[in-house]
């Protein structure tokens, strides 16, 4: 018994895992979707790291104070800005992906990307200013 012929024919294993996030040969929408996947994975990893860090509260106040002295250093605060970028990009691009994937505004996905960028950039700058202690 063989499968009925259809419009999609798969030969071999398919693309390598690196092809899942590789931006080469993709248009703007494909590149932003690849970055969307990367930021999604990074946010899940951050969630587990964050829960592990919060468990330091169980060790005691001195361990928590030592940890806070490390994470409030200016060099470490840059990681917070990168985290905020990942969060903003993932959220705003997720709205774009949902609209395009649902069939709405398919012809305008490039414009949606630039609208998301126009919204996200000032938010990122505002957050970075506050993370580093300004305003």
Q: Which of 38-47, 84-93, 95-104 has the lowest mean pLDDT?
A: 95-104
The pLDDT tens digits for 55-95 are 888 888 888 888 888 888 888 899 999 999 999 999 999 99
Q: Which pTM value belongs to this model?
A: 0.76
CA distance to 25, 48, 58, per residue, from 14 (Å): 17, 31, 47
Of 48, 49, 46, 17, nearest to 34 by C-alpha is: 17
Q: How far apart are CA 96 and CA 113, in angstroms?
A: 7
Looking at the domain that runs over 27-131, which CATH code has it been given?
A: 1.20.1300.10
pLDDT greater than 70 at residue 2? no
Contacts of 35 (CB under 8 A, 6+ apart): 23, 89, 93
Q: Taking a C-beta distance cutoff of 8 angstroms, is the pair 86, 42 a contact?
A: yes
Whether 21 shows a pLDDT value over 90: the answer reads no
């Amino acid at each position: 018994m063989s499968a009925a012929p259809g419009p999609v024919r798969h030969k071999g294993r398919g693309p390598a895992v690196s092809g899942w996030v590789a931006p080469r040969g993709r248009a703007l929408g494909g590149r932003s979707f690849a970055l969307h996947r990367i930021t999604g994975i990074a946010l899940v990893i951050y969630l587990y790291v964050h829960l592990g860090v919060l468990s330091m509260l169980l060790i005691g106040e001195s361990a928590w104070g030592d940890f806070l002295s490390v994470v409030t250093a200016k060099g470490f605060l840059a990681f917070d800005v990168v985290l905020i970028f990942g969060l903003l990009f993932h959220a705003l691009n997720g709205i774009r992906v949902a609209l395009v994937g649902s069939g709405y505004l398919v012809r305008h996905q490039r414009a949606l990307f630039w609208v998301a960028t126009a919204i996200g950039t000032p938010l990122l700058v505002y957050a970075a200013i506050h993370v580093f202690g300004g305003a």
